[in-house]
Amino acid sequence: MAKLCMGLFSGSLDKLVGAGVILSGAAADDMDVEVFVLLQGARAFLKGNENKIDNVAEAPELKEHFIKQLEVLNVPEWYDFFEMAKDMTNVKIYICSLAGKIWGGEKLEDFNDLVDDLCGIGEYLTAAEEADIHMFI
């Protein structure tokens, strides 16, 4: 079974949806997936922030259009993509402990139910080195 390792640096809606689409594809291919959530990304995974993320990193002037088209096309919320992938295959989501602390998340209970654990950057680097596919978003 192939393994995908994703470094999720961004916490913007466009990047989170993109990561969710990739996770869905990996889950459909029955891949093992490890997602390491870094810096800005960690804020999105704090409890209660799931529906508060509405910034767009790429072409911020098109934010309203992007959000409207997600609704028109009935695209699932970013959180739902991640949840569906976890239900379909072996997906583990880790928050970088430094990133968590930056946003006020010091323990696992501070993050939503998608998160499996907190870790250090060394664990991410090792996973990236051992993965068949490594992506950084």
**Are 46 and 77 a contacting pair, CB within 8 Å?**
no
Number of domains in the chain: 1
Q: Which pLDDT does position 126 carry in this prediction?
A: 97
* Residue 6, strand partner residues: 35, 135
Cα 66 to Cα 10, 23, 41, 124, distances in angstroms: 17, 20, 19, 31
CATH, residue 27: 3.40.1260.10
Over 90: is that where the pLDDT of 116 sits? yes
pTM: 0.93
Neighbours of 19 (CB within 10 A): 22
User: Please, what sign has the CA dihedral across residues 17, 19, 22, 28?
Assistant: negative
Domain hosting 75: range is 3-136
Neighbours of 113 (CB within 10 A): 12
Give per-residue pLDDT as tens, 24-73.
999 999 999 999 999 999 999 999 998 887 888 888 888 899 999 999 99
Over 90: is that where the pLDDT of 80 sits? yes
- Identity of residue 63: K
Structure tokens at 104: 């006020």
**Are 72 and 62 a contacting pair, CB within 8 Å?**
no
